[in-house]
Chain A
Amino acid sequence: MNAPLTPPSPYSSPSSRSNVETHTLAVLVDNEPGVLARVVGLFSGRGYNIESLTVAEVAHGEHLSRITVVTSGTPETIEQIHHQLERLVPVHKVTDLTVSARSLERELAMVKVRGKGENRNAALQLGEAFRARVVDATTESFIFELTGKPDKIDEFVDLMRPIGLVEVSRTGVAAISRGPEPI
């Protein structure tokens, strides 16, 4: 989404992009004003990538919000991002969900498709195959609601394109670790 990674110092040789990894970080923050701006500002200010970002309050009484951010970079950059996030004053905890590899990632998308005749049928069939629900329909359009891993949604969207894709609204990734323990 952003420009490619800039090296952390003018003295370092430009980092090779061959070992770029994608990681999902869960960030628990105190839900105070400006905290999201601080997190986003950290990424833009230090030239880190944001591939996906979701945020919502998770415990209303406790003013706790959970930010899930999908980012990419070399392992060193990911480590930096982790610790830079931890350093922000309103941050409770940062967990790299990709490290444990025992996490679930889901995204919700709503996909608007327009078409008549054969295309209409094709859209419906594909929707079924992807277990997408039709949440709105007119004589010339459907809106599908679909939940899954981001690449499943990518795939669905790609298939809809030739059929008559109008627009897509995605939530970004929500992620959680498996098993009984919290992050």
Chain B
Amino acid sequence: MAKQMTGAEMVVEALKDQGVDLLFGYPGGAVLPIYDVLFHQEKVRHILVRHEQGAAHAAEGYARSSGKPGVLLVTSGPGATNTITGLTDALMDSIPLVCITGQVPTHLIGSDAFQECDTVGITRHCTKHNYLVKSVDDLPRILHEAFYVASNGRPGPVVIDIPKDVQFSTGTYTGPRNVHHKTYQPKLDADNDAIRRAAKMMAAAKRPIFYTGGGVINSGPAASTLLRELVSLTGFPITSTLMGLGAYPGSGPNWLGMLGMHGTFEANNAMHDCDLMIAVGARFDDRITGRLDAFSPGSKKIHIDIDRSSINKNVKVDLPIVGDCAHVLESLVRVWRAEAMHAEKQPLDAWWKKIGEWRERKSLAFRNSDKVIKPQYAVQRLYALTKDRDPYITTEVGQHQMWAAQHYHFDEPNRWMTSGGLGTMGYGLPAAIGAQLAHPKSLVVDIAGEASILMNIQEMSTAIQYRLPVKVFILNNEYMGMVRQWQELLHGGRYSHSYSEALPDFVKLAEAFGAKGIRCSDPADLDRAIQEMIDYDGPVIFDCLVEKNENCFPMIPSGKAHNDMLLADLSDDAGVELGSIIDEKGKMLV
């Protein structure tokens, strides 16, 4: 239906037509016309963040926990530049975002006007696509196209930069129907041939493994259901990247735990020794592969991905399958069932037996203490006390993030939100706010570090304003622990600027915001304190004082192969040895 309206009205109309019920934003001169339209309606709820980076991460948390694109609205200049980290984060982790930025009026563009910046220029490298809207006539098409581009194919962030005069001028609005994109039409279904070949390779495998990633989550809940079906039909073991946790249940019988730099012994060794690797929606990132020339040397590899450029980028594969995970998995399940296929039982049993031996190493084990809270123990207790509430977990970045991935288990997709590709400290709290808004009745916990949380702590105000009962569970080790660990391993224990000096009193800080503060340092008191946090109907900052010098194991040191892991028991009494484990070449790597 064609209607006459202003550009600003079109923005809000398009949001409604796209089914957006929520957007995160921060006003300023260049978006005031849009804010004025928001004032007059109630369908689209505006959440006022406290920093535009917070808006981007909150939109990510909303998107990842709901499967819908996240939307943010910010002003020109500093408003736009403040979103850069969030946009880059969303690009790296393939999260659908639509970011609307105000721009100075068209005739002032290029004149270094007040709060002008080259938003499309700056964001070109951190968006999937972006637009500068030069005429109100283009605006409806661009708005709808942006949602299409953000959510289809490999999802990602899209920026729409709208000059203020375009927001004021009047034009004809058209709805989202018949958005046919001229150039962008991702392929969803794989060729039947490829599917058949994949099924045959799977049936012939003796030591197979599924290696799955965030693509399965992004593909939607059906992909996870189909993955579970295929795993149970085949009886193959499965591991996943940090991004893919929850696609296959963490309590499932075939689950080997996460793989990669801080993955389990069994997952990494199985990846190294397998004869068939079935990569589903995962991209062979360097945190996963370790040393490339020693990566799973004896295996054939099938790679299912919607992004053709992810295939053969880092690791050459034998059978590329370009398509959407859900579509491809559905075809695989169908073929596997229809032809009653199965892998030979005897070698598969032997493979599982081998995996059982690796599992025996209990690579996530740690030496617990009754004097001081071990961070791993804190996550384990948090898991035990919250798992029955179908919680949503976000994290910041550091050791606590890895401990959360190792010791918190996810039985459903879209429950785990962490900054994987970019590793953005400050992600967790705004992401938790986004997740909480998508799931108002659910328990949402940000497992945080004391350093990371200070990067976007201002968003506590947002939580208070909208009565969002997010829980910030800080594993406070008084160190940028992950940095300290690397300094121990690589730089002779010279802890250059990694001590968290001059920390605030987190309990008082919580109270200053109007939240509840809880502190716990006694393992014996931990359960009670966690329960108090859960029971409190409102936001909480939980200052969990943990062992300061704990290292995160297992670990594949930089430049090493999957079967060359550092295990916790090795490190316990080997402070001296640790420094010599990584060679000079490994130190060059990140």
Contacts and interface: CB of A to CB of B under 8 A. Distances in A.
B559 interface: yes
Contact of A76 (B130, B312, B558): B312
B293 interface: yes
Contact of A87 (B286, B293, B307): B307
Contacts of B125: 41, 45
Contacts of A34: 120, 124, 130, 132
Contact of B312 (A11, A33, A79): A79
B309 A84 contact: yes
B314 A87 contact: no
Interface stretch (A88-96, A120-128, A166-174): A88-96
Nearest 10 pairs of A and B residues by beta carbon: A83-B309, A89-B129, A12-B292, A10-B589, A9-B286, A83-B308, A11-B292, A89-B184, A11-B286, A84-B309
B308 A86 contact: yes
B121 A37 contact: yes
A30 interface: yes
B286 A10 contact: yes
B121 A11 contact: no
Given A9-B314, A76-B312, 20 more contacts: A8-B313, A10-B286, A10-B589, A10-B590, A11-B291, A12-B293, A13-B292, A34-B124, A37-B124, A41-B124, A41-B125, A80-B309, A83-B308, A87-B309, A89-B128, A89-B129, A89-B184, A90-B129, A90-B183, A91-B183
A41 B124 CA distance: 8
B569 to A, nearest CB: 26
Contacts of B494: none
A145 to B, nearest CB: 35
A88 B158 CA distance: 12
A76 B292 CA distance: 15
Nearest to A87: B309
Interface string A36-56: 011001000100000000000
Nearest to B128: A89
A88 B292 CA distance: 27
Nearest to B559: A11
Contacts of B120: 34
B212 interface: no
B441 interface: no
A76 B316 CA distance: 9
A119 to B, nearest CB: 47
Contact of A80 (B128, B132, B313): B313
A91 B314 CA distance: 24
B517 to A, nearest CB: 41
Nearest to B310: A83
Given A12-B314, A89-B129, A30 B182 contact: yes
Contacts of B286: 9-11
B182 to A, nearest CB: 6
Contacts of B290: 11
Interface string A55-75: 000000000000000000000
Give chain B's interface secondary structure class: loop
Contacts of A86: 308-309
Interface in A120-178: none
A16 B307 CA distance: 27
In this complex, which of B291, B308, B589 has the most chain A Cβ atoms within 10 angstroms of its Cβ?
B308
A88 B125 CA distance: 11
B296 to A, nearest CB: 13
Interface in A81-125: 83-84, 86-92
Interface in B367-402: none
B139 to A, nearest CB: 14
Interface string B131-168: 01010000000000000010000100000000000000
A1 to B, nearest CB: 20
B109 to A, nearest CB: 12
Contacts of B307: 87
Nearest to A32: B131
Nearest to A37: B124
B289 interface: yes
Nearest to B285: A9
A27 to B, nearest CB: 11
A13 B183 contact: no
B293 A13 contact: yes
A38 B134 CA distance: 18
A89 B154 CA distance: 11
21 contacts: A9-B286, A9-B292, A10-B558, A10-B590, A11-B289, A11-B290, A11-B291, A11-B292, A11-B559, A11-B589, A29-B183, A34-B120, A34-B130, A45-B125, A76-B312, A83-B309, A84-B309, A86-B309, A87-B308, A90-B129, A91-B183
Interface string B254-291: 00000000000000000000000000000000100111
A75 B188 CA distance: 27
B156 to A, nearest CB: 10
A79 B320 CA distance: 13
Contacts of A38: 124
Contact of A33 (B132, B309, B559): B132
A92 B184 CA distance: 8
In this complex, which of B124, B132, B183, B314 has the most chain A Cβ atoms within 10 angstroms of its Cβ?
B183
A84 B125 CA distance: 13
A164 B109 CA distance: 45
Nearest to A83: B309
A21 to B, nearest CB: 16
In this complex, which of B149, B308, B309, B316 has the most chain A Cβ atoms within 10 angstroms of its Cβ?
B309
Contacts of B124: 34, 37-38, 41
Nearest to B314: A9
A37 B121 CA distance: 8
Nearest to A79: B312
Contacts of B314: 8-9, 12
A37 B154 CA distance: 21
Interface in B307-333: 307-309, 311-314, 316
Nearest to B322: A83
B423 to A, nearest CB: 14
Contacts of B132: 33-34
Contacts of A29: 183
A45 B290 CA distance: 23
A29 B184 CA distance: 11
B9 to A, nearest CB: 24
Given A10-B590, A12-B314, A30 B183 contact: yes
In this complex, which of A30, A38, A79, A87 has the most chain B Cβ atoms within 10 angstroms of its Cβ?
A87
Contacts of A91: 183
A89 B183 contact: yes
In this complex, which of A13, A41, A83, A88 has the most chain B Cβ atoms within 10 angstroms of its Cβ?
A83
Nearest to B154: A87
Nearest to A33: B132
A11 B291 CA distance: 5
